[in-house]
Amino acid sequence: MAVQLRYQYRLYPDEAQRAALARLFGCVRTVWNDALVQVKPVKASNKLLGPPKARTAEGPYQRVPKSPDLSRELIAGAKKTPQREWLDQVSAVPLQQVLRDADKAWAAHEDSKTGQRKGPKVGHPKFKSRRDHRQSARFTANAKWKITPAGKLSLPKIGDVKVTWSRDLPSAPTSVTVVKDAAGRYFASFVVETGDEPLPETTPEVGIDLGLTHFAVLSDGTKIANPRFLRRAERKLKKAQRILSRKQEGSANRDKARVKVARAHAKVADARREFHHQLSTTLIRENQGIYVEDLAVKGLARTRLAKSVHDAGWAAFVHMLEYKARRCGRTFAKVSRFLPSSQTCSECWAVDAPKPLHVREWTCKACTTTHDRDVNSARVVLAAGRADR
């Protein structure tokens, strides 16, 4: 089955290219905001009239302008006016693409309100600011961008940008998004279509108990230490944050200090993501079946353990396991979060009483087996996952 994946690479634009990219990001932001100015009043007016079958006021519904209408007015027409003639200095494709993105954002908001879209509620599109520290622009195939024989990324009206190719693209990309993050780094994010890559079948299956003392404990007794990337970098982050707080608002020195804070946070996030990728890839390669508990991460993130829960990044790790298992032909399943895994004996399956967190070993009253709390939980998760399969 063909799936779309994103491959991200670091870009190193020169000074002229950084100026051109800043101009492009500004034009994309302007077109997005102009589109919201056109659409929001129409939607607000229609909302006052109520739904067609339960009108709350009299009056005609107005037609909500879509991306083709907005493109003619906000791009082609605006370029001919003195106020927006500078839109002609950048490629038109990212400007047209941001209008399509606005259509999708409004559709996601409407579907979320009516329940057609699953998951958390999606808010309405908001205005972009030049103070936003993450900027992006997307080039589709008709923008005629290309990868040069020298390995550079050629973008229209930007130039040939140096790329660090950390891995090969599996197929020809359909689009590329240029991103500037809060730390001032530039990335090229390619969308490629690729098929599944099944691994040779193997015998072992594993249950995983995620935690904070150990990041993961496996049903075979393996304990994987919790790296605690955020905790380890806390002193450096606090120092950088204090320096930032002392800088004058709007000054160049404050902006430099902000970038230092952003880079420190980015270093933590990158290290955590790399750890998740390496561990998830190892588990997928070595096991035919992977079973984890469906943790209520959002709930745990509202407790006194919030910082440690966010530092562990369980949700991102489980997501990696899930999509890698699907691509590699492995079995992946989540067991119910209401399973009493820390109270159930993995030998006789008797259910014991609840235990406080400081109890790391316990003895089953039914069969007198002494259990390591986390290893036992992982074994119960494994058995429950196999039973539900």
What is the 3-class SS of the chain, one letter each residue?
CCEEEEEEEEEECCHHHHHHHHHHHHHHHHHHHHHHHHHHHHHHHHHHHCCCCCCCCCCCCCCCCCHHHHHHHHHHHHHHCCCCHHHHHCCHHHHHHHHHHHHHHHHHHHHHHHCCCCCCCCCCCCCCCCCCCCEEEEEEHHHCCEECCCCCEEECCCEEEEEECCCCCCCCCCEEEEEECCCCCEEEEEEEEECCCCCCCCCCEEEEEECCCEEEEECCCCEEECCCHHHHCHHHHHHHHHHHHCCCCCCHHHHHHHHHHHHHHHHHHHHHHHHHHHHHHHHHHHCCEEEEECCCHHHHCCCCCHHHHHHHCHHHHHHHHHHHHHHHCCEEEEECCCCCCCCECCCCCCECCCCCCCCCEEECCCCCCEEEHHHHHHHHHHHHHHHHC
Return the structure tokens found at 71: 């493109």
Is 209 among the residues known to form the active site? yes
Instruction: Name 157's Cβ contacts closer than 8 Å, sequence gap at least 6.
Output: 20, 24, 89, 90, 91
Amino acid at 142: N
Which residue is catalytic, options 193, 293, 322, 372?
293
Q: Kindly report the pTM of this predicted structure.
A: 0.88
Cα separation, 27 vs 94, in Å, equals 9
With beta carbons less than 8 A apart as the criterion, state whether 245 and 253 touch: no
Q: Is 374 a catalytic residue?
A: yes
Instruction: Supply 169's token pair.
Output: 């693209």
The catalytic residue among 101, 103, 205, 374 is 374
Choosing from 132, 209, 270, 361, the catalytic residue is 209
pLDDT at 268: 96
- What's the burial of 188, exposed, middle or buried (CB within 10 Å: 0-12/13-18/19+)? buried
How much is the pLDDT for 196? 84
pLDDT tens, the chain, 389 aa long: 677 889 999 999 999 999 999 999 999 999 999 999 999 999 888 888 887 777 777 778 888 999 999 999 999 999 999 999 999 999 999 999 999 999 999 999 999 988 888 888 899 999 999 888 899 999 998 899 999 999 999 999 999 999 999 999 988 898 999 999 999 999 999 999 888 889 999 999 999 999 999 999 999 999 999 999 999 999 999 999 999 999 999 899 999 999 999 999 999 999 999 999 999 999 999 999 999 999 888 888 888 989 999 999 999 999 999 999 999 999 999 999 898 888 889 888 888 888 888 888 888 888 888 898 899 999 999 999 998 87
Residue 369's pLDDT is: 87
pLDDT at 1: 64
Cα 59 to Cα 47: distance, rounded to the nearest angstrom: 11
Does the annotation mark 255 as catalytic?
no
